[in-house]
Amino acid sequence: MIIFPAIDIIGGQCVRLVKGDYATASKVAEDPLETARKFEAAGAEWIHMVDLDGAKAGYPVNTEIYKNIAENTNLKVEVGGGIRTLETIQAYLDLGIARVILGSVALKNPQLVADAVMKFGAEKIVVGIDAKNEMVATEGWLETSEVNYIDLAKEMMKVGVKTFIFTDISKDGTLSGVNIEQLRKLRDATFGKCNIVASGGVHTIDDIIACRDLGLYGTIAGKSLYQGTLDLADAIQTAEALEIRAMQISDFDALYALWTACGNGLNNLDDSIEGIGRYLERNPNTSFVALDHGKLAGAILCGHDGRRGYIQHMSVNPEFRRRGIGTKLLNRALDALKAEHIHKAALVAFKQNALGNAFWESMGFSLREDLNYRNMSLAEMIRFDPEY
């Protein structure tokens, strides 16, 4: 699970609100860039930023601050507040912002969300769903609609949205704990199809554990970090429930079930328990499984012939998608190959398609037209994208 430290901006200052009330704004840090750098030093990979002036005005106000952080840190920046047009989204992405958050516009102009997903890709677009008593609030939380938060999520899923940030406004800035009940309802309504990020009420490490164990994609922490009730480095470490270890033949039954669930093309010789046993005997140190609370979340079967590495299978359990597991498994396998002085690796019989190609190319693989040279399909590459 990803921890997103948060910086909210009013008048160029780092602030936090209580329950979305602008009258409660209090300064929590001196300098946005230095604050971001401290988050990065603690191990953060992402930062969540909201233009509160923009949310109220309906257009971006503090753009230079976000640009400065994107240019002067290695953090991936997501920004929300006052984003109402495709041109604004394009401008933010051109500044190096990793993804933008659409809030009020999701309710008031859903076609714009659909157009944004189509034009920029779902990985660049997040829909923020902020609710009071389960009803969606808009315009910087100054207006409340009669639309249930889950109903809005379902409508956004229809236009291709993959990531939601859910905020229970009654919890935001209160340090009273996350709303697990409403998060669970949203998770159940979108399970296996979308990334859910919890926002509002994070107080202690117990909230991080609760969100992690709920299987959420991420959790946003703001006031708890500034007031010291939550340590960012501790939260990041606790959020990672994934264990990656070397593959063992005793994993075979779970592996076979995973490959079957993912629709991998299997053959009776190479993919039998005897075949995998021989494979692991030849290459005992280059294949890995990922476990979440003891459950198989993903696996990579990788070996080498002394000159080149070969990736035979890579699969992620559908229950654990979009948590970066594919990337982590592949990196572990490539590191293991390098430790054995193997510096080239090839994919064996993976099917080509746009999403899969993007994943493998993002990991440094150069794809050929004859990639599927054995005319087999040991793994469907469509099951991977850079977020898996």
pLDDT, tens only, 296-315 = 999 999 999 998 888 888 88
Alpha carbon distance 330, 288 (integer Å): 9
Decide which of 325 and 45 is more confident: 45
pLDDT digits (tens, 9 = 90+) for 234-281: 999 899 778 899 999 999 999 999 988 877 777 777 889 999 999 999
Where is average pLDDT lowest: 39-43, 341-345, 350-354, 370-374?
A: 370-374
The pLDDT value recorded for residue 7 is 93
Alpha carbon distance 213, 131 (integer Å): 23
The pLDDT value recorded for residue 20 is 65
What percent of the chain stands above pLDDT 70? 87
Secondary structure percentages of the chain, helix, strand, coil, to 5:
40, 25, 35
Alpha carbon distance 114, 125 (integer Å): 10
130 catalytically annotated: yes
The pLDDT value recorded for residue 385 is 35
CB atoms within 10 A of CB 338: 12
Query: Residue 101 pLDDT > 80, yes or no?
Result: yes
Q: Which of 8, 251, 271, 292 is catalytic?
A: 8
pTM of this structure: 0.69
Cα 163 → chain centroid = 8
Contact, 304 vs 277, CB < 8 A? Answer: no
Write down all domains in the chain, each with its CATH number in brackets.
2-239 (3.20.20.70), 242-383 (3.40.630.30)
251 catalytically annotated: no
Q: What phi and psi, each to the nearest 5 degrees, are found at residue 90? A: -60, -45
Assigned token pair, 197: 């990020």
Q: Which of 53, 130, 207, 292 is catalytic?
A: 130
